[in-house]
Amino acid sequence: MQCELAPPGVGTPAATIIPSGESRASLTLTATTSTRLGSGPLYVMVTTVEPSGKMGGDNVSGAERVRVSSEVVNLTVADPFVALSSEPQSVRRGERLAYRWKVKQLQPFAGTARLSMLGLPVGVTAIGPPPTIDTNTSDVTVELEARDEALLGMVGELTCELEFTIDGEAISLRTGNGRLRIDPRRE
């Protein structure tokens, strides 16, 4: 399975093999902040392969292969719902920290979005249930715990992934740029 057509700037994954007997697969599309806003056509092509997983036949003419296309759908690239920001924060080994993110609402959305923090260094983990936000949220915290094996010093490029459900489809948004300093345990 692979995307044959997508709007300009929309990232599509490499061809994916759907296991024998399966009739569904997920397709993950990406867009960066420089992707042009608007709508464009998208369709997916599925091609048969030999039981060994090797491609047989002729790619160009399709000889000895079965090719099936999805319907052409209209994909909309829109502005993000929110933007997150944070001030540099610190935690000591053996302690916990409620890492705070400021939430800037950019456009309304229905329901809630689940947040997970990305880029945490070895020895620092998010604990407790993942926090959620809605259109009224102005800040959100992620409970972090620094264990003794956490590397000391400043860690940058912490981000968050927010998962929204819009019209029954999962939409992920990566946003934020946080920094965390890990200090030695108190003696």
Same domain, 90 and 161: yes
Predicted local confidence at residue 122, as pLDDT: 95
Q: Assess whether 139 and 58 both reside in one domain.
A: no
Q: Is the pLDDT of residue 35 over 70?
A: yes
pLDDT beyond 70 at 33:
yes
Q: Could you tell me if 157 and 117 lie in one domain?
A: yes
Kindly report the pTM of this predicted structure.
0.79
The answer to whether residues 59 and 145 belong to one domain is: no
* Lowest mean pLDDT segment, chosen from 22-36, 44-58, 94-108, 145-159: 44-58
* Residues 106-127, mean pLDDT to the nearest whole number: 96
Q: Which of 78, 95, 116 is the last residue of a domain?
A: 78
Same domain, 70 and 92: no
Same structural domain for residues 65 and 103? no
Residue-level pLDDT at 15: 87
Q: What is the pLDDT of residue 50?
A: 64
List of residues 6+ apart from 135 with CB closer than 8 A: 105, 108, 109
Least confident window among 66-75, 96-105, 151-160: 66-75
Q: Quick one: 53 exposed, middle or buried, by C-beta within 10 A (0-12, 13-18, 19+)?
A: exposed
34 with 99, same domain? no
Residues 149 and 58 occupy one common structural domain:
no
Q: Are 110 and 166 in contact (CB under 8 A)?
A: yes
Beta bridge partners of 39: 76
Last residue of a domain, one of 53, 78, 103: 78
For the chain, what is the mean pLDDT? 90
Give the number of residues written for the chain: 187
Specify the number of domains making up the chain: 2
Model pLDDT, residue 25 = 86
> Residue 140: its pLDDT value, please?
98
If pLDDT is split at 50, 70 and 90, which confidence band does 27 have? Answer: confident
Domain of residue 25 covers: 1-78
Same domain? 26 vs 13: yes
pLDDT, one tens digit per residue, over 63-99 is: 567 888 899 999 999 999 999 999 999 999 999 999 9
Single-letter residue type at 42: L
For residue 21, what pLDDT is reported?
Answer: 86
Please calculate the CA angle 122-146-116 and round it to the nearest 5 degrees. Answer: 70
**Per-residue pLDDT at 51 exceeds 80:** no
Q: Does residue 172 carry a pLDDT above 90? A: yes
> What was the pLDDT predicted at 18?
85
Identify whether residues 55 and 107 lie together within a single domain.
Answer: no
What average pLDDT score do residues 132-144 get?
97
Average pLDDT of the segment spanning 95-118:
97
Looking at the structure, tell me whether residues 73 and 102 fall in a common domain.
no
10, 43, 78: which is the final residue of a domain?
78
Dump strand ranges (E) for 37-168. 38-47, 67-69, 73-77, 82-85, 89-92, 96-105, 113-118, 124-126, 132-133, 139-146, 153-166
